[in-house]
Structures are given as structure tokens and as C-alpha cells.
Structure 1
Amino acid sequence: MSRRHWLGLAFSFLFALIVTVMARCSSRPMITVEADASFEIYSLDGDSYPMSSANWRDSGFHGWPILRTCSISHSMGVELLDELLSDAASDAAAKAVRVDCFRPRHGLRVIDSSGTTDYLICFECRGFEIWSGGLQMPGGGSITRGPESLFSNTLKTCRSEEKVEP
């Protein structure tokens, strides 16, 4: 092959690589979080079902008993939220078989000027819910177990009510 052919082949390969990377990046959801937003991560007792009283949302994390609460840094909160929502948007999550159990063991709370948004997460059944203003919101769905280690390790490295830096 002539040098021109090799150069054309290399350029074609580089172009294909750039297009592939751009396509992958554009499929990730855009996470926009206010700079002054605060984050809390929760370890929940997924084995104890929420109370069936009229005010069950007033106790625990949407009724689920809280084992541990940690305030986390803005950057760590954005990383956790990005990991969760990117996983939910992935092809693997779309193909995941969601088990009908929902025993959440993790929670993430985002507090900003628009209010409080909670993510109730069950890696065991591969699903999550989004709550805001005491109401379940659209947008939850299937996930994989991919983000579980990041959530669990974040909880392991913090003490209750302690800021965890990345």
C-alpha cells in the first residue's frame, strides 16, 4: 500500500473513534446541580417495610428506617447522582430484568433552591424511585448493580453526620 492509502486508513480510523466517543458522551444524561446544593446519602433498612400509618412519610426516609445518614461534599454528591442517572440511561439498565421486590438499602437526597429531591435505590431488585415534595415523580426505573460499590464505599468511609470528601 502506498503512503497515501495508509494515511487515509489512519484518518478514517481516527474519525470513527472520535464519532464513537462523541456518541457515547452524548448518551449520558446531563447533570445540572446548583453550586450551593447540598447532598446526603442514606443507608436504609430495606428489610423493614414502611409503616402503614397516615404519616408514614414523616418517619425514616419515605417510611424506610434509616441506619445511617451522612452529609457529603458537593463533588461527591454530583458523582453519585451522575453515576446513578448514567447507569439508568445505559443499555445494560434497559436490558436489566427488574425484580419485583423493592427493598431499598440506599438513598440520596439533593437539596437546592427548588426544593428537595430524593432518590430511593434498590440495587437488589435493580430499580430506583424519585421523590419530590412528598410525591413520587416520573423518571425512576431500572438500574444495574454498577453504582452499588460507589454508594456503599461512600457510606463506609463516612461517620454519621460527617462530610465525606472525594
Structure 2
Amino acid sequence: MRCGACSAKVHSALSSLESVQVVEVDHERDLAFVSATAVLHKQEVQLNLSQAGDFSLKEMNADEEPSPPIGGVPLTTGESDSSPEEPPSQSLFPLFLIVGYIFTVTFLIAWSNSEWSMDSMMRHFMAGFFLVFSFFKFLDAPGFASAFKMYDPLAKAIPGWSWIYPYIELMLGVAYMMSWQPFATNVTTLVLMSVGGVGVLQSLLQKRTIRCACLGTALNLPMTKVTLVENGTMAAMAAFMLAGCAAPMLNAPLASLGIEDATSLQVSVMALDGDTYPDMGASDQENLMHGWTILQVCSLDQGPPSIQVLRALNSDIAQGHAGIPVDCFQPRHAVRIQSQDAVKEYLICFQCHNFQCWVDGSLVSSGSISNHSEEILNSAITSCAQDAPEES
């Protein structure tokens, strides 16, 4: 600080802190004495100083620290053009360990389900990522909010954004885990990770020594290129999955289903009672599909909703199941495809990874099937407003 105007700016910046009661600034010695009712977070103090002007905090040695005249906490301010001090040695090992754990769990889920599709593995990884990272942010919400405002553009521009951000990550984790509204979920992730990456890149280019808030403040992680890679990787995965969500809109042939053009087909998804075998009889013979009781029917709109289901089913049949075959066949899902020429129905047992294909009431084929489409079929059934089952 070189003049009284600088002192006034520093005084105003420190006085605006919530718990600060008294501030005295000595511009001749580059000192500020603060009396506060609560512990001040270094990141929050630095943020206020940087917004007031070209000021920054500077640590003092214990033998250099003067006695504050008002019984407050001594702070030193220095122009940012002074040579920066080297940050303390900090380890990124906790970050690598946590990401490694998430990746291992993702691998085990894929292995146990024999489901190795990139879309499924990325979805499980991102679910674990957001759930774990939001947990660490909740451990010290005030500290995270202060640290996050140091570099995130949205946190700087929108009051309260840094406080609600952990909740957004938590909701994204749940959405990925439940495969809920994948298009909206991936768009949100892409935007948040891209904006966050911009803030990280700006901090790195400015060579600012600040804390990375990705795991809150429970772990003291530095802002490095690893943080930028982390944001970029998550944004890239969201973009990849977003492309997968948009792919069903393409009018591509579905070879495993024998369909050349799916745009004009009427598609219905059904929930079946797989516990009641056909030979056990049923009270309502009209509410059956090849002997299996229909619990719910969801007629999909033509276009993207129908094509998304057909593409998922086509992919699962083409992929098949590489595990040990199980001959239980208790179908709990069915897909009916109606065209001008024929009615094709697929009865699916994801538990044993088997399916049957019926055409105009006759069984024409059967085989093994992967289970990636199970979540898509469940989502269609859950979101369907139709309550009464359709007649078979």
C-alpha cells in the first residue's frame, strides 16, 4: 500500500467480511489489524482484497509479527506485483486415491453385470464421482464456498452459487445412478464442468497459488493442471454420453431387429409379471402376452422416444451375453413393434439374459441379450402416464 486511498480500499474490503467488527490499516507498514467474532477463512479474505484492488495476503514470520493495537488478528497486505512465495508442498495423492476407488467400483459393477459398454461404465463412474465429491464439499460448506469463489466464474457472478453447488453435484450423482433424464443430466454436467474448467484455466494462466475446492476444504489440495484435466475429462464424458442420447434421433438401420426405417413404427413397452408362469393359468386371459400377465403398457410417441428404445434393444441383442447361460426365463419386460406388415414382440428376461421374438403370434427366434436397455425400458414405464394395461 502506497497511500491513504489504498488504505481505504483495504479497510472497506476487510470491513465487508461478515464477522469483522473492527479494522485498522497501516499503509506505511503494509499491515491491517482485524478484530472478528469468528475465524476468518484465508480464501474469503483474499477474495475481498483482490476485488478491492491489486492487493494480496502475505504471511509473516512469528518474530516479525507486531502486537495489534486493538487486540485483533494481524494481517499483512502486499501489492501482487511482488515476487510470490512458493506454496507449501502439497500432495495430490488423496485425489488420485479417491478417483482410483471410484474407477475400481465402476469396473466391479461392469464385471458383475457383464456390461462393458462405454456408456454404462461412464454413467456409473460419473455417479460415483459426483456423489463422493459432493460429500467432501458438505464436510465444510462455508470453507468450500469461500474457496470456490476464488476461481469459479459462476460463483463469482451469482450470489449463493457456491452454497448450492454441492447440492447440484449430489443431484447429478443421483441422476446418473438412476439414469434419470440422461439428456438434461449430461447437458448440465457439460455446462458446469466447462465453466469450471475456464475458471481453473484462468487461475493457472495467472499463476495464482490457491486451493482447489474440488474436494472441499477437508483435504488441502493445490490448484494444478490435474484440476483442469479433471474438469475437462468430466466435460468430455458428458459430451460423449450426450452424443449417445442424440444418436437415437438418427434414422439408422437396426439390423438385429430387422428394421430398416424406424420412424413410422408404433412401439410399446410393457411390464410383465415374471413370477406367474403361463401354465399356472390367469384370471384374465385377455391381459396376457404369450401367457405372461401384462402389468403395465406404455405406448411411446413416434420419433426419438421410440427410436431410443429400439436402438438400445438392437444394441443389446447384437452384443448378447458373454456370461454363463441361465435357463430361467421369467420375462418382466416386453417390447411390441407394430408396422403395416406385421406385429413383432420381444419378451425379455434380463435376469437370465434371454429373449424371445414373436412375429404375428408365432415364436420365430430366441437368444441371449445384454442388459443395458433394462434401465431405458424401466424409465419409459415409470414415466408413462398410462395406467390401464393395453389389450394383448
Name the TM-score, length of structure 1 as normaliser. 0.69
2:335 aligned residue: 108
Describe the SS at the equivalent of 2:290: coil
Query: Which of 371, 382, 392 is 1:156 aligned to?
Result: 382
Partners in 1 of 2:317 and 2:285 — Cα distance?
Answer: 25
CA contact (8 A) 1:45 1:104 kept: yes
Q: Which residue in the other structure is 2:368 paired with?
A: 142
Q: Which residue of 1 is the match for residue 308 of structure 2?
A: 79
Report how far residue 52 of structure 1 moved: 6.5
Give the letter for the 1:145 counterpart: N
Q: CA deviation at 1:94?
A: 4.5
- Higher relative contact order at CA 8 Å, sep ≥6: structure 1 or structure 2? 1
Aligned pairs for 1:15-164 (under 5 A) are 29-30=254-255, 31-51=259-279, 59-74=287-302, 75-90=304-319, 93-138=320-365, 140-160=366-386
Letter in 2 for 1:154: A
Q: Separation in 2 of the partners of 1:89 and 1:115?
A: 22
SS in 1 for 2:276: coil
Larger radius of gyration between Structure 1 and Structure 2 = 2
- Cα 1:111–1:29 change in 2 (3 A) is closer
- Which residue identity does 1:67 align to in structure 2? L
In the aligned structure 2, how far is the partner of 1:96 from the partner of 1:47?
23
Q: Whose strand proportion is higher, 1 or 2?
A: 1
The structural deviation recorded for 1:161 is 6.2
CA 133–146 in structure 1, closer or farther in 2 if over 3 Å, else same: same
| Cα displacement string for residues 99-119 of structure 1 (whole angstroms, at most 9, x for unaligned residues) | 110000000001111111001
Runs ≥4 residues deviating over 4 A: 56-59
RMSD after superposition: 2.4
Partners of 2:340 and 2:387 in 1: CA distance: 22
Residue 65 of structure 1: SS of its match in structure 2? Answer: strand
Higher mean C-alpha displacement, 64-73 vs 74-83: 74-83
**How far apart, CA to CA, are the structure 2 residues paired with 1:72 and 1:119?**
15
SS of the residue corresponding to residue 288 of structure 2 reads coil
Q: Is the alpha carbon distance of 1:125 and 1:94 closer, same or farther for their aligned partners in structure 2, counting shifts above 3 Å?
A: closer
The residue type equivalent to 1:148 in the other structure is E
Q: CA deviation at 1:153?
A: 0.9
Residues 108 and 119 in structure 1, CA contact (< 8 A), matched pair in contact too: yes
Which amino acid letter does the alignment assign opposite residue 266 of structure 2? S
Aligned sequence identity (%): 32
- Work out the CA distance in 2 between the residues paired with 1:126 and 1:96: 9
Structure 2 CA distance, aligned partners of 1:124 and 1:76? 25
SS at structure 1 position matched to 2:313: helix
1:17 corresponds to which residue? Answer: none
Distance 1:88 1:36, change over 3 A: closer
Q: TM-score, normalised by structure 2?
A: 0.31
Equivalent residues of 1:29, 1:89 under 8 A apart: no
The number of residues matched between the two structures is 130
Q: Which has the higher helix share?
A: 2
Offset at 1:159?
Answer: 1.8
Report the Cα offset of residue 40 of structure 1: 0.9
